[in-house]
């Protein structure tokens, strides 16, 4: 009798665990990376650079070229506003949540693509031109929706883009 109770409770525990584990893995698989806690000033410093000795048009062209070099497709550029918008999609299928979703629901929503959206503003100051680039990343689902969206705060992403802008501005100033 006691062995039957133990066996029944073990089976119940196993069933509960088997139903909880897949759900926890599904929710973890498609979650966004944790964003660091930054002040507004730190975010602006990360996303902004100033260029002296160059005109706004030259810097705007350099920003467009740098974004294209990084794989972005320019969707709009307005020289009057000093605004550039661009996007890039990267195939990034979440195989774990896809497998659990398929097993638990027959087929559900899972991440298939990451979409990076960038906007850049270029404005003339008294003695320089300021550029601010803002990038967000979105996880797109197989069903066409957005699973999550958040700003990009990785310093190296912005450093890579600004290094290319720096080089373009330098070459333009030197007429090379």
Dist CA 88 CA 97 (whole Å): 23
Q: pLDDT of 147-174, one tens digit each?
A: 889 999 999 999 999 999 999 999 988 8
Tokens of 125: 């100051």
Residue 22 — pLDDT band, cuts 50, 70, 90? very low
- Pick the range with the lowest mean pLDDT from 42-56, 85-99, 123-137: 85-99
Mean per-residue pLDDT, 12-21: 40
Q: pLDDT of 110-142, one tens digit each?
A: 778 999 999 999 999 999 999 999 999 998 988
What ranges make up the beta strands (E) of 2-151? Answer: 48-52, 73-78, 83-91, 111-124, 128-141, 146-151
Dihedral over Cα of 81, 72, 156, 36: its sign: positive
Dist CA 92 CA 95 (whole Å): 9
Cβ contacts of 24 within 8 Å, gap of 6 or more: none
164 and 70 Cβ atoms separated by less than 8 Å: yes
**Per-residue pLDDT at 60 exceeds 90:** yes
Q: What angle do CA 147, 148, 152 make, to 5 degrees?
A: 145
- Which long-range contacts (C-beta less than 8 Å, at least 24 apart) are formed by 64-67? 65/164, 65/168, 66/161, 66/162, 66/164, 66/165, 66/168, 67/118, 67/120, 67/161
Dihedral over Cα of 121, 127, 128, 130: its sign: negative
pLDDT at 24: 41
The secondary structure of residue 107, as a DSSP letter, is S
**Burial status of residue 73 (CB atoms within 10 A of its CB: 0-12, 13-18, 19 or more):** exposed
């Amino acid at each position: 009798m006691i062995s039957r109770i133990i066996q029944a409770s073990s089976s119940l525990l196993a069933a509960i665990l088997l139903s909880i584990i897949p759900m926890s893995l599904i929710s973890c698989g498609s979650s966004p990376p944790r964003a660091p806690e930054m002040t507004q000033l730190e975010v602006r410093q990360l996303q902004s650079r100033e260029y002296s000795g160059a005109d706004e048009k030259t810097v705007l062209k350099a920003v467009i070229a740098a974004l294209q070099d990084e794989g972005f497709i320019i969707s709009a550029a307005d020289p009057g506003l000093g605004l550039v918008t661009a996007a890039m999609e990267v195939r990034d299928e979440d195989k774990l949540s896809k497998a659990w979703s398929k097993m638990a629901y027959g087929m559900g929503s899972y991440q298939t693509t990451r979409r990076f959206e960038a906007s850049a503003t270029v404005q003339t100051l008294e003695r320089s031109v300021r550029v601010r680039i803002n990038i967000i990343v979105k996880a797109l689902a197989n069903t066409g929706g957005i699973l999550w969206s958040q700003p990009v705060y990785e310093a190296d992403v912005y450093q890579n883009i600004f290094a290319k802008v720096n080089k373009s501005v330098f070459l333009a100033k030197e007429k090379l």
